Amino acid sequence: MAWTSVISTVRADDQGKIRERVYAVVLGGGLIFIGAVAWQLAVMAGAVDEFLTSSPVLVIEGVVKQIVSGELLVNIGISGLEFIVAFAVASVFGISLGLLMGRLRYVKYAIEPYVWLLYSSPVIALFPLIVLIFGLGAPSVVFIAIMLAIVPLIVNAMQGVDNVDPGLIKVVESFGGNELQLLRKVVLPASFPTIMAGVRLGMGRAVVGVVVGELFAGQGGIGYSIDKYASELNTTQVFSSVLIVIVAGLVLNFIARALERASSGWRTDL
Amino acid sequence: MSHITFDSVKISYKTSDGEVEAVGDFSAEIQKGEFIAIVGPSGCGKSSVLSAADGLLKPAAGNVYVSGEPVTGPGHGRAMVFQDASLMPWRSVESNVAFGLELRGVGKAERLRTARELVKLVGLEGRERSRPSQLSGGMRQRVGIARALAVDPEILLMDEPFGALDAQTRESMGMELLRIWENDRKTVLFVTHGIDEAILLADRVLVMSAGPRSRIVEDITIDLPRPRTREVRVGREFQVYRSRLSNLLFGEQDARTTEPATR
């Protein structure tokens, strides 16, 4: 009796979840769809200037053209490599620094002001200076992407460690555990969700960093393409390239979430 | 030789208004296999005394000796049960129980075997793979006790372990603890603010005065037969201990409230 009621509540719960999911997809995707249709109709009716606004059909065609010509693959190769290097460096340094700052308050006192300085300073405004130092090309792009991406990685790792239940730390101390065990078995698993949220934020900022960097100093890549097409007044290809960046960002976010789910298993095994 | 010796232990804390001497002078001798309850008004530093015995906290003066050796840090012969159980929410029940053994480098197969035995001992058989969030407060504290027992300590330090539980669960957990304790009669230091709990469980109750500079005001031997059952509570002797303890605790607290505020 009790069991059947449990099962039926679980089923009702699942059904509720599915319904919520459908609403989210229909409402979220529907709005974009309606927007695109309105945009297309406005262009077809001549209400807006196609030269300035392009149209959804043209934008999709533009993407296809980039795929067929191989431009997309080359751009993704260049931008992707810059992204990977920048994000890897930012992750390794950002998370280690954040963990250190969370555990050792003197390190935190020494470094925290600069993190917030970096956070609130318009890094992009320093770009001419960065180009002066690193020259045009990938190094400047990677540098600015690191600067943008590292802040949430540091801050989240630090806050993750700060928020570890002091009771759990006491348990490790009481059993005579050392600092390394404390880090591996309590601090990292406990701050894992917060760190991963930082990873996702940092990922998004690294994408922005790469695109904006290429826009100003790139010698290839998606951002460089956007700049090139804009100077040619090719509205359609600018939109197409932006669409590609958006899709890339979504795909990265999806990968990050999948990684997060897959790797949360290790917390129980360590 | 006594198992644990508190030799004029003094504990102080740095606060924003300077150093506060929480515990002024705590001296006691505890024999092997004794079940000791420490009671006192809140803020008297009874938990600090326990931390000092575990080696988590260094006394400002005086020393704690275990089997004649001064305590310099957490050691293998002691294990602590914390007030809120302090379980790792990402670990299963058995993995939490095995945690202390894991930190001490015991191999996986062996520590899991020990953990399962203890899960059974504390009455949680079948819940080995559950997460702490799926357990009730009482069950979580059973896991906390099992985790401490898993490292097979000679001394069990319990810091208000049932303080967060409702009265009924609290009492049954007390009886459960006695059942487990009767197996091998480890030396137990049990900090509590519950008078009934202290009498029901302990061989001796150390009563502390209110802080700051608290000390032991009374060391009462509870001469009730073991193994104890709930029925002990209705007996006349229990009531005598009870009124004596509440006079010591609440009488003092009343006196304190009539004192002019000096701080």
pLDDT tens digits along A213-268: 999 888 889 999 999 999 999 999 999 999 999 999 999 989 888 888 877 666 65
- Contact list, B76 vs chain A (CB under 8 Å): 176
Lowest-confidence region among A2-6, A118-122, B241-245: A2-6
Give the pLDDT confidence score for residue B17 in this predicted structure: 80
Say if CB B249 and CB B40 are below 8 A apart: yes
Contact A172 B103 (CB under 8 A): yes
Report pTM.
0.79
Tell me which of A175, A184, A185, A192 to substitute to probe the interface with B (most B C-beta atoms closer than 10 Å).
A175
DSSP A270: -
The chain A residue lying nearest B77, using CA atoms, is: A175
The answer to whether A54 and A236 are in contact (CB under 8 A) is yes
Number of cross-chain residue pairs from A and B with Cβ atoms under 8 Å apart:
53
Model pLDDT, residue A175: 94
- Amino acid A3: pLDDT: 47
Instruction: Sort B16 into a burial class: Cβ within 10 Å, 0-12 / 13-18 / 19+.
Output: exposed
Is B76 touching A (CB cutoff 8 A)? yes
Cβ of residue B98 closer than 8 Å to a chain A Cβ: no
Q: Taking Cα atoms as reference points, which of B55, B139, B151, B170 lies closest to residue B111? A: B151
* Residues A198 and A153 sit within 8 Å (Cβ to Cβ): yes
Q: Would you call B99 and A175 a contact, using CB atoms and an 8 Å cutoff? A: yes
Q: How far apart are CA A231 and CA B120, in angstroms?
A: 74
Q: Say which of A165, A173, A189 has its CB closest to residue B74.
A: A173
Whole-angstrom distance, CA of residue B173 vs CA of residue A138: 65
How many angstroms away from the CA of A186 is the closest CA of chain B?
8
State the pLDDT at residue B251. Answer: 74
Q: Which two tokens stand for residue B114?
A: 């020990």
Q: Is B102 on the interface with A (CB under 8 A)?
A: yes
Nearest CB neighbour to B74, from listed A165, A174, A189: A174
Q: How far is B197 from chain A (nearest CA, A)?
A: 24
Confidence of residue A27 (pLDDT cuts 50, 70, 90): confident
Contact B86 A165 (CB under 8 A): yes
Q: Helices (DSSP H) in B127-166: which residue ranges?
A: 137-150
Residue of chain A whose Cα is closest to the Cα of B151: A175
